[in-house]
Amino acid sequence: MKAVRRLPNVSRSFRPPTQTSSIVSRAFLSTTSIPGAKPGVSHAKAHNSSLATSAETKAAQPPPFEQPPRSNKFEPLTPLEQYKRLVDSGTLRGDEHQTRIIQGLEDLYNQLAKYEQPPVPDNTPTNSVFSRLFSRESPLPTSPPPDAPKGLYLYGDVGTGKTMLMDLFYTSLPSTIGRKRRVHFHAFMIDVHKRLHAAKLAMGYQGGDPIIPVARDLAKEAYVLCFDEFQVTDIADAMILRRLLESLVNYGVVCVMTSNRHPDDLYKNGIQRASFLPAIDLLKSQFKVTDLDSGTDYRRIPRALSQVYFDPLTPENDSEIHKIFKSMASADPSDPPIHNRKITTWGRTLLVPESTSKIAKFEFRDLCGQPLSAADYIEVTKNFGTIFILNVEKMGLSQKDLARRFITFIDACYESKTKLFVTSEVPIFQVFSDDPNKELPPHHQHQITDQMRSVMDDLGLSPEIVGNSSMFSGEEEVFAFARACSRLVQMGSKEWAETAGVQ
């Protein structure tokens, strides 16, 4: 088997701990947020997707930014001011392509500073003929407010700095915008499904359209919504999103989204995709669609890796990982490890084999051998800042469900900035690969496009291994695979090990 070369990697923007049930990563991007930073000292050590390295940093910087005088020194820096400060301090490497993107964020920032969302009505029309004839309910808006700014849709491959740019924008929003929300798209859809269920119960036997009250409540809670990792993978979400997005935009909600895909490529091979096409048209007409790909994967800047992954499954590696767990779990005598701690989500109970209040240890089959969902993994990472997962298996076509759950688990760990320790049968980046001597049928080979192969090559994954991975023959699956591998590299970095795991 041709070995997968492990590329050292770097962390994205700094993120505080996850809050409530959402996977929320709000970047605190000023240089004072860097652990151990001293006032007035410029740090070449970068903690973002654009990184500074040695003397070449200054040569790569774009021309100086011209900034208007600030009217209130206590307001957060604007996106352009944040970016300038990070470049000047050496925390970010200057990038002309990202500078153009930042200018788009700055323009939206200025528009939002002058924008007031129209009042959201308290009532919801019913299907009753009597109500339609005699009630004084306010009509639902059928188009966006004329003065509402267009949202932003930022798309690009892994490593292009999507999350960093969106977080920079979110943290710079002025205090006058009190109703705002930044959420990972997985967590947002979990919340939406819960709200839809509650709305249906409230409507009772008379029925009605539950999307209307859900959209209304979301629009009341926040009129600036930031979504990370926007994607559409199943028919249920596709049908909900088509009308939910339209209602939110008509209520005057302004959205900023990141995605791996251009809107035209969303839900590309999905069931009943024709029903989702109006949502794609909405994204292209009411959002400024911006390509972030600049040919540079910033997370590939060389960094030292720490020892958090152990392979193969030998008695020596097993002993080493248990030593690490025992050392970390015994740090607080008042919080000793217990067995079979119970975690409840969506009415289900998940048993944690061994854990303290902050550190958990699972067997791979405990987490991925059961029918668990993204909601379960979000709950696990919300409860534990450090997770040990032991005996990760090499997965073939017959273990496709295991692979999908493992990828979902890795995504949850990454978004909640969880510290991860792993023992695996083969190097962690090879757990999805088939026998390299096995040849796929031609129809499988053609499903992996040149773009997908380019993504895998950028991540240091052999195209031959990707081509022989029969589990990941569809574009959506290859993207998920690429993202998981990239995140595993990043979570194996020294910076991640030093800064992750805070609860």
Q: Phi-psi bin for 187: left (phi > 0), alpha (psi -120 to 50), beta?
A: alpha
Q: Higher model confidence: residue 147 or residue 468?
A: 147
| C-alpha dihedral, 154 to 461 to 431 to 478, nearest 10° | 40
Average pLDDT value for the chain:
75
Q: Which two tokens stand for residue 6?
A: 């492990």
Q: Which two tokens stand for residue 313?
A: 């499954």
Per-residue pLDDT at 467 exceeds 80? no
Mean pLDDT of 268-290: 88
Mean pLDDT of 352-368: 94
pLDDT at position 14 is 34
pLDDT tens string 128-177: 544 444 445 567 788 899 999 999 999 887 667 788 888 889 999 988 89
pLDDT at position 495 is 72
Per-residue pLDDT at 451 exceeds 50? no
pLDDT at position 100 is 84
pLDDT at position 72 is 53
Strands 309-310 and 287-291: unpaired
Q: What share of the chain in percent tops pLDDT 70? A: 69
Q: Higher model confidence: residue 40 or residue 220?
A: 220
Mean pLDDT of 379-391: 94
Per-residue pLDDT at 304 exceeds 50? no
**What dotted CATH number matches 31-35+42-64+76-115+145-298?**
3.40.50.300
CA 376, 382, 384, 385 dihedral sign is: positive
CATH 3.40.50.300 residue window(s) in the chain: 31-35+42-64+76-115+145-298
Per-residue pLDDT at 96 exceeds 60? yes
Mean pLDDT of 476-483: 72
pLDDT at position 300 is 46
End-to-end, the C-alpha distance of the chain in Å comes to 40
Phi and psi angles of residue 291, each rounded to the nearest 5 degrees, phi first: -85, 125
Q: Minimal CA–CA distance to 6: which of 304, 377, 402?
A: 304
User: What global pTM score does this model have?
Assistant: 0.52
Phi and psi angles of residue 443, each rounded to the nearest 5 degrees, phi first: -65, -30
pLDDT at position 469 is 54
pLDDT at position 471 is 57
pLDDT at position 28 is 32
Q: Are 425 and 393 in contact (CB under 8 A)?
A: yes
pLDDT at position 175 is 85
